[in-house]
Structure 1
Amino acid sequence: MTIGGDEGAATFVAFLRLDVLAGLTAAAIVLPKAMAYATVAGLPVSVGLYTAFVPMIVYALLGTSRVLSVSSTTTLAILAGTELGIAVPDGDPAKLVTALATLAALTGALLIAASVLRLGFVANFISSPVLTGFKAGIGLVIVLDQIPKLLGVHIEKAGFFRDIVSLVHHVPETSLLTLTIAAAALIALGIMEKLWPHSPAPLVVVGAGILISWVAGLNALGIATVGFIPRSLPSLTLPNAGLVEQLLPGALGIALMSFTETIAAGRAFAKPAESPIKPNRELLATGAANLAGAFFGSMPAGGGASQTAVVRAVGGQSQTASLVTAATSAATMLFLAPLLGLLPQAVLAAIVIIYSVGLISPAEFASIRKVRRMEFRWALAAFLGVLVFGTLQGIVVAIVLSLIGLASQSAKPRVYVIGRKRGTDVLRPLSADHPDDETFERLLILRPEGRLFFANVQQVADQIQALVAEHKPEVLTLDMSGVFDIEYSALQTMIESERRVAAQGITVWLAGLNPDVLDYLRASGFADKLGRERLFFSVHAALQRYLERAGGS
């Protein structure tokens, strides 16, 4: 018994050691990136540290993922920055703090409400191709937003394409020293990320930037630096109820993206042996993390894929790693704040660019185009929606496109003519790839697939009628095994179609009905009208009955 206890204690210590190492390694990457993302949103870098503190602790206590690391992300930063820019156009620091607290609190409240209403399935409302296009647009917007900081110039933001024109006009004003520092940071980050993926490259670059700034006195030379950072933990901040109406639409979009990113990252790094990610519990955990963070100066937060990858790669076993990262953030606020103030803005901009470029994936676009041209067009439309209409409106474009895509697929179900592989009992759709498959004289087997409802049933009925006119069967067998649901309007159309086909002297058989669909047919009286002799457990049973009847004839 003692041996078993000793082994258990040794295992616990080993896991704890791995979690501490993973948390410290993640902190070396998360904290510099969190500070950089705060600048994306037009906020002080200290806000990034706050976001890697309170939200991370709350999620660690409530989340269902063992290793998910929750703080700011590039997407959430740009969305929050856009919304804050609208709410506080003059950039007043006091107003920004209040607006940020209100935005984060709204985001958290919406996520918690979605959890109560069990809306976890909403995470699936944005299709993968559309999300690819949306993120690529976000990535491009972020990169363009950081380029002026690389050059040491300032432009008035007026939209993606007008910002490009403005940037070109300001190029002659470029500070060569700022550009040199930025180029060195970009090259160093690029090389380290390529040679040592998931290394603490941001921490190394931040440390080098601070050292150079201190030795060379960059601030005195006119190089923009982070500036004063309060040396303390975040203070209590209260939201402003008067801003709720103005910020609510933006908070809806941010809440959706926070949850989408959290679920995607959580699922991506879950091991088969671990408990599955629970969407509704994740809504509660991320909602509580955002709501609590709102009172302590935090930006809207969500699960980050890159930082979670680090935790998993280093061997993190539990949310203890996130607690270690949060503790490191607190220590940084208390002891390293004055040093961080020396950091050149150009270095932070380089970090943002390096970790935002990954959102733009031409290879993913090419892969989508290779598989499905229509979904490639949706990806492009979502990409252009962000650039043309803006980031928050881009979410609406992405959701609308996803829903249109879902509706178009649902509204065009296929109806297959079924044959039998010669010499076997295998039934399958007729195809040019299988020219030897056999069909049966005066029997037509059709297989509609998908949910039948008011928007698509007429197309299905038209396809069936056209095939009946082409093949002129005596018996039409509908293999309903691929129909998992039938709506009332569709059921009425089916009843009317059977009446029309029967008037042509054709007998309709139904086979492979799912239990729910069969219940609907019985409730409508259609099953009784057909009679048991025209309802079959499977299409194989229907075919056997037909062959027996034909042989008897």
Structure 2
Amino acid sequence: MNLTSATPRWLGPSLRGYRRTWLRADVVAGLAAGVVVVPQAMAYATIAGLPVSVGLYTCIVPVLLYALLGGSHTLSVSTTSTIAVLTASALAGAGTASDDLLGAAFTLTALVGVCLLVMRLLRLGSLVEQISPATLTGVKAGVGLTVAVTQLPALLGLTVPDRDAGFFGKLADVVGALPTTQALTAIFSVLAVATLLVLRRVAPRVPAALFVVVASVLLVVLTDVEDRGLALIEPVPAGLPDLSPPLWDAIPGLLPAALAIAVMAFLETVLVARAQRQRSEPTVDSDQELLAVGVAALGGGLTQCLPPAGGFSQSAVNLGAGARTQVAGLTTAALAVLVALFLAPVLSDLPTATLGALVLVAVVGLVSPAEYMRLFRIDRTEFWVALATTAIGLTAGLLPAVGAGVVLTLFLVLRTVSRSAVRPLYAAPDGGWTPTPPESPPPSPPAGGDAAPAGVLLLHLDHSIFTGNARPTQDDVLAAALGHRPTPHALVLEGTAVLRATIPLLDALEALDADLSREGTTLLLAAFPPDVRRQAAASRWWAGAERDGRVVPTVDAAVAAAVAAASAREATP
């Protein structure tokens, strides 16, 4: 299993340096994760309106491909409730006929893989990761509430219209059908949910999902609950999935949804992978994860699967059971193959209420009031983004919510980078200069150096200047000079934090120089990094400023030059 140095770096990154002593722990962890992920994935398939066998198949090829390509050592990949709901929305929005529903679903999965691979080709991993955490909070809350209401008919034995009515429409359908609640199904569901919650709290190492599934099947086999109205899932076909060629004519209608699902699948995968990375493991590479999840989705689309993504609950089980590498993932895939080949008839005795209970418990954690309160206390803007994303998800649908979240994130990023990059510069208590204001005005000049002399204004550039923040920065520098009384005879602009000499920076400085000259103020540039100065030297204006001695290595040198120039002017009759 240990890969040699001749193996391509993108193949089996988690398997390099493998030790035989890890094998037992990996196999045990893979089996532990499998008993969680297999029934959970089957339940998620019902969210998407697909047969439970699709969820089972999602635990085979995508898991295998991610294990061979993924960079995370302990991530467990199948599908998630978020992806299942987005898939359901995509299929409903595409208006696919029922006869083509499965083909459209598998085409969607393959398209998700193509989108992820294109993102990898363009190296967009770090860009996609800039999506605001508030957006994810809002989308996950929308998913949690939507999934919860879609499971109520199965949990209560209700018959409701099968339509894409959104959260509130589905809730209204459930409320209208409450008088027809099937008592046995409701009692069974309450017991199943309670068992899952109690086992999660008092015995976290017990595979609660497997326990409830086995108990439910035994109840059906040993009693007459089916005859009394407890509905069962559709029969699960035995055997491995067939190849599923894409529906080419469905691609244009599914492509926008595929892009949204690709973004969410990537974000969920990377977030979970980074959350449980151990110190001894290499950092999670965004582009490697794009490749791994993209190939897993593409392979899954050709073998009757849902779009794959890393799941938190199964990954936590995987890590907690001692997984060291993706050999655990290979074990999970092998377990799913055994289930598909030999246990499929047994799974046909599984009540639909059991799957509903598994889903309901799985999505409880997606709705986090505490996270909204945290956003409200720390950043009101992020709070309103989360609230808006949730509202859009519950009214217009989850795919529009993802799109709106991306747009809101871009707006916040643009707003941030468009802010002025200039701040006042203060004398530091231990000498030198700092953009951090003193907690209180010093009673006397600080040790190590005096404050700026009269007539000299000191300003600090926080970071590099680009198109978005060039104009606000230029305006703030000019406003600081014009608002200073008396008007300074010199303005020192300190640039230690500037990393690049951009065209917007040089244009803004040249325009400032002209504006300040008309006010009788000399612009001095201090402490710009050597690389920046070398780049900027190609500009005629900067080169002229250097010849005039207005580009100096330190703030102290700039202050000294300003004082000397003022003294020279005063001495001139």
Asked if Structure 1 and Structure 2 have the same fold, meaning a TM-score greater than 0.5 normalized by the shorter chain, the answer is yes
Match of 1:134 in 2: 139
Residue identity matched to 2:470: V
Alignment partner of 1:483 is 2:498: yes
Stretch deviating more after TM superposition (67-76 or 542-551)? 542-551
Alignment partner of 1:143 is 2:159: no
- TM-score normalised according to structure 1 size: 0.92
Alignment counterpart, residue 130 of structure 2, candidates 101, 125, 147: 125
Describe the shift of the 1:272–1:213 C-alpha distance in structure 2 as closer, same or farther (beyond 3 A): same
Describe the shift of the 1:210–1:460 C-alpha distance in structure 2 as closer, same or farther (beyond 3 A): same
For 2:416 and 2:40, the matched residues in 1 are separated by 40
Alignment counterpart, residue 524 of structure 1, candidates 534, 539, 544: 539
Match of 2:107 in 1: 102
Q: Structure 1 residue 55: deviation in Å?
A: 0.4
Alignment counterpart, residue 352 of structure 2, candidates 341, 345, 355: 345
Q: Is the 8 A contact 1:18 1:317 kept in 2?
A: yes
For 2:104 and 2:229, the matched residues in 1 are separated by 31
Match of 1:245 in 2: 252
Helix, strand or coil at the partner of 2:390: helix
Which has the larger helix fraction?
1
Q: Structure 1 residue 277: deviation in Å?
A: 1.9
Match of 1:3 in 2: none
Q: Structure 1 residue 96: deviation in Å?
A: 2.0
Alignment counterpart, residue 310 of structure 2, candidates 303, 311, 335: 303
Structure 1 segment 4-15 matched on structure 2, within 5 A: 12-15=19-22
Alignment counterpart, residue 500 of structure 1, candidates 506, 515, 525: 515
Q: Structure 1 residue 515: deviation in Å?
A: 5.1
Q: Structure 1 residue 543: deviation in Å?
A: 4.2
Q: Structure 1 residue 26: deviation in Å?
A: 0.4
Q: Is the 8 A contact 1:106 1:251 kept in 2?
A: yes
Q: Is the 8 A contact 1:19 1:321 kept in 2?
A: yes
Where in structure 1 are there 5+ consecutive unaligned residues? 1-10
Q: Structure 1 residue 408: deviation in Å?
A: 0.9
Alignment counterpart, residue 284 of structure 1, candidates 291, 294, 311: 291
Alignment counterpart, residue 466 of structure 2, candidates 443, 449, 453: 453
Helix, strand or coil at the partner of 1:233: coil
Q: Is the 8 A contact 2:420 2:476 kept in 1?
A: no
Match of 2:232 in 1: 225
For 1:196 and 1:514, the matched residues in 2 are separated by 58
Cα deviation, 1:333-387, whole Å, max 9, x if unaligned, reads 1121112111111111111111112111121222222221112111111121211
Stretch deviating more after TM superposition (462-471 or 319-328)? 462-471
Q: Structure 1 residue 182: deviation in Å?
A: 0.8
Q: Structure 1 residue 203: deviation in Å?
A: 0.8
Alignment counterpart, residue 214 of structure 1, candidates 221, 241, 248: 221
Where in structure 2 are there 5+ consecutive unaligned residues? 1-17
Q: Structure 1 residue 546: deviation in Å?
A: 5.1
Q: Structure 1 residue 89: deviation in Å?
A: 5.0
Q: Is the 8 A contact 1:110 1:255 kept in 2?
A: yes
Describe the shift of the 1:540–1:339 C-alpha distance in structure 2 as closer, same or farther (beyond 3 A): farther
How many residue pairs match? The answer is: 540
For 2:261 and 2:465, the matched residues in 1 are separated by 34
Match of 1:433 in 2: 439
Describe the shift of the 1:153–1:468 C-alpha distance in structure 2 as closer, same or farther (beyond 3 A): same
Stretch deviating more after TM superposition (49-58 or 543-552)? 543-552
For 1:163 and 1:209, the matched residues in 2 are separated by 27
Q: Structure 1 residue 101: deviation in Å?
A: 1.7
Q: Structure 1 residue 454: deviation in Å?
A: 3.1
Q: Is the 8 A contact 2:185 2:229 kept in 1?
A: no
For 1:20 and 1:88, the matched residues in 2 are separated by 43
Alignment counterpart, residue 115 of structure 1, candidates 88, 109, 120: 120
Q: Is the 8 A contact 1:419 1:445 kept in 2?
A: yes
Q: Is the 8 A contact 2:516 2:522 kept in 1?
A: yes
Match of 1:5 in 2: none
- TM-score normalised according to structure 2 size: 0.89
Describe the shift of the 1:205–1:428 C-alpha distance in structure 2 as closer, same or farther (beyond 3 A): same
Q: Is the 8 A contact 2:83 2:265 kept in 1?
A: yes
For 1:539 and 1:83, the matched residues in 2 are separated by 59
Match of 2:551 in 1: 535
Q: Structure 1 residue 164: deviation in Å?
A: 2.0
For 2:101 and 2:205, the matched residues in 1 are separated by 33
Q: Structure 1 residue 118: deviation in Å?
A: 2.1
Q: Percent of counterpart pairs with the same letter? A: 36
Match of 2:212 in 1: 205
Q: Structure 1 residue 413: deviation in Å?
A: 2.6
Q: Structure 1 residue 487: deviation in Å?
A: 4.4
Q: Structure 1 residue 303: deviation in Å?
A: 1.4
Helix, strand or coil at the partner of 2:473: helix
Match of 1:7 in 2: none
Helix, strand or coil at the partner of 1:456: helix
